[in-house]
Copies of this chain bind each other. A is one copy, B any other.
Amino acid sequence: MPTHTVKFLPYDMQIDVEDGDTVIRAALEAGVHVNASCGGEGVCGKCRVLIEDGTVDGGTSEKLSVEDQDKGYCLACQAAVKSDLVVRIPVESTIDAGVLKMQAAPRRTAHIREMNFEELKEKGLFVAPVEKKYLELPAPTAQDNLPDITRLISYLQLEHDEHRLDVTLAMIRKIPQVIREDDFKVTATLVRPVRDVGKTRIINIQPGDTSEQSYAIAMDIGTTTIYGQVIDLISGDVLAEHGEFNGQISYGEDVISRIVYAEKPGGLAKINEVVIATINKILTRIIKRSGVNQENISTITLAGNTTMTQLLLAVDPRSIRRAPYVPAATLYPPMKASDLGMELDDHVAALVYPAVSSYVGGDIVAGVMGSGIYRSEALTLYLDVGTNAEIVIGNKDWLACAACSAGPAFEGGGLKFGMRAAKGAIEDFSIDPTTFEPMIITIGNVRPKGICGSGLIIMAAVMFEMGIINNLGKFDRDLDTPRIREDHGIYEYVLAWQDETQIDRDITLTEIDIENLIRAKGAIYSGCMTLLTEVGMSIAEIEHIILAGGFGSYVDLEKAMTIGLLPELDTEKVTFIGNGSLMGARMSSLTNRIRRDVVEVTKKMTNFELSDTISYMDNYVAALFLPHTDMNQFPKIKSRLETRRKMNQI
Show the binding face of A for B, using Cβ within 8 Å: 140-142, 144-150, 166-169, 172-173, 175-177, 180, 197, 313-319, 323-333, 335, 339, 357-358, 609, 612
Q: Is the CB of B609 within 8 A of A173?
A: no
Q: Is the CB of B313 within 8 A of A172?
A: yes
A315: which of B176, B329, B357 is its contact (CB, 8 Å)? B176
Closest B residue to A356 using CB positions: B147
Taking CB atoms, residues of chain B closer than 8 Å to A168 are: 333
Q: Looking at the assembled complex, report how far the CB atom of A505 sits from the nearest CB atom of chain B, in whole angstroms.
A: 47
Known: A141-B324, A142-B612, A149-B331. 7 other contacts (CB 8 A): A140-B324, A142-B609, A146-B326, A149-B329, A167-B329, A167-B333, A169-B333
Interface of A, secondary structure class, is: loop
Could you name 5 residue pairs across A and B whose Cβ atoms are closer than 8 Å? A140-B324, A142-B612, A145-B357, A147-B330, A176-B316
A326: which of B140, B323, B326, B329 is its contact (CB, 8 Å)? B140
In whole angstroms, what is the CA distance A326 to B323 when docked? 59
Q: Looking at the assembled complex, report how far the CB atom of A425 sits from the nearest CB atom of chain B, in whole angstroms.
A: 39
Closest B residue to A169 using CB positions: B335
Taking CB atoms, residues of chain B closer than 8 Å to A333 are: 166-169
Number of copies: 2
Q: Is the CB of B142 within 8 A of A328?
A: no
Closest B residue to A358 using CB positions: B145
Q: Is the CB of A316 within 8 A of B141?
A: no
Q: Is the CB of A172 within 8 A of B324?
A: no
Q: Looking at the assembled complex, report how far the CB atom of A342 sits from the nearest CB atom of chain B, in whole angstroms.
A: 13
Taking CB atoms, residues of chain B closer than 8 Å to A167 are: 329, 333
Q: Is the CB of B142 within 8 A of A172?
A: no
In whole angstroms, what is the CA distance A566 to B166 when docked? 42
Q: Is the CB of A148 within 8 A of B332?
A: no
Q: Looking at the assembled complex, report how far the CB atom of A267 sits from the nearest CB atom of chain B, in whole angstroms.
A: 14
Q: Is the CB of B324 within 8 A of A175?
A: no
In whole angstroms, what is the CA distance A425 to B512 when docked? 96
Q: Looking at the assembled complex, report how far the CB atom of A271 sits from the nearest CB atom of chain B, in whole angstroms.
A: 14
Q: Is the CB of A329 within 8 A of B140?
A: no
In whole angstroms, what is the CA distance A582 to B328 when docked? 39
Taking CB atoms, residues of chain B closer than 8 Å to A146 are: 326
Taking CB atoms, residues of chain B closer than 8 Å to A173 are: 313-316, 328
Taking CB atoms, residues of chain B closer than 8 Å to A318 are: 176
Taking CB atoms, residues of chain B closer than 8 Å to A331 are: 149-150
In whole angstroms, what is the CA distance A314 to B326 when docked? 41
Q: Looking at the assembled complex, report how far the CB atom of A596 sits from the nearest CB atom of chain B, in whole angstroms.
A: 16
Q: Is the CB of A313 within 8 A of B169?
A: yes
Q: Is the CB of A328 within 8 A of B172?
A: yes
Closest B residue to A145 using CB positions: B324
Q: Looking at the assembled complex, report how far the CB atom of A26 sits from the nearest CB atom of chain B, in whole angstroms.
A: 52
Q: Is the CB of A147 within 8 A of B324?
A: no
A319: which of B148, B166, B335, B339 is its contact (CB, 8 Å)? B148
Taking CB atoms, residues of chain B closer than 8 Å to A149 are: 328-331
Q: Looking at the assembled complex, report how far the CB atom of A364 sits from the nearest CB atom of chain B, in whole angstroms.
A: 16
A329: which of B142, B150, B177, B358 is its contact (CB, 8 Å)? B150
Taking CB atoms, residues of chain B closer than 8 Å to A324 are: 140-142, 144-145
Closest B residue to A146 using CB positions: B326
Q: Is the CB of B147 within 8 A of A326?
A: yes
A175: which of B169, B317, B325, B329 is its contact (CB, 8 Å)? B329
Q: Is the CB of A326 within 8 A of B197?
A: no
Taking CB atoms, residues of chain B closer than 8 Å to A180 are: 319
Q: Is the CB of A142 within 8 A of B176?
A: no
Taking CB atoms, residues of chain B closer than 8 Å to A332 are: 169, 172
In whole angstroms, what is the CA distance A319 to B176 when docked? 7
Closest B residue to A334 using CB positions: B169
In whole angstroms, what is the CA distance A147 to B330 when docked? 6
In whole angstroms, what is the CA distance A150 to B356 when docked? 11
Q: Looking at the assembled complex, report how far the CB atom of A343 sits from the nearest CB atom of chain B, in whole angstroms.
A: 18
Taking CB atoms, residues of chain B closer than 8 Å to A316 are: 173, 176-177
In whole angstroms, what is the CA distance A168 to B330 when docked? 13
Q: A142-B609, A197-B197, A333-B167 are in contact. Are A172 and B315 (CB under 8 A)?
A: yes
Most chain B CB atoms below 10 A, which of A141, A168, A173, A176: A176
In whole angstroms, what is the CA distance A357 to B317 when docked? 49
Taking CB atoms, residues of chain B closer than 8 Å to A142 are: 323-324, 609, 612
Taking CB atoms, residues of chain B closer than 8 Å to A329 are: 147-150, 167, 172, 175
Q: A168-B333, A197-B197, A335-B169 are in contact. Are A147 and B328 (CB under 8 A)?
A: yes
Taking CB atoms, residues of chain B closer than 8 Å to A148 are: 319, 326-329
Closest B residue to A335 using CB positions: B169
Q: Looking at the assembled complex, report how far the CB atom of A602 sits from the nearest CB atom of chain B, in whole angstroms.
A: 11
Closest B residue to A148 using CB positions: B328
In whole angstroms, what is the CA distance A172 to B333 when docked? 10
8 smallest CB-CB distances across A and B, nearest first, come from: A145-B324, A149-B329, A176-B316, A142-B324, A172-B329, A147-B327, A176-B328, A147-B330
In whole angstroms, what is the CA distance A335 to B169 when docked? 8
In whole angstroms, what is the CA distance A22 to B331 when docked? 68
Taking CB atoms, residues of chain B closer than 8 Å to A317 are: 176
In whole angstroms, what is the CA distance A413 to B197 when docked? 53
In whole angstroms, what is the CA distance A140 to B150 when docked? 49
Q: Looking at the assembled complex, report how far the CB atom of A601 sits from the nearest CB atom of chain B, in whole angstroms.
A: 16
In whole angstroms, what is the CA distance A326 to B137 when docked? 14
Closest B residue to A149 using CB positions: B329
In whole angstroms, what is the CA distance A313 to B146 when docked? 19
Closest B residue to A319 using CB positions: B176
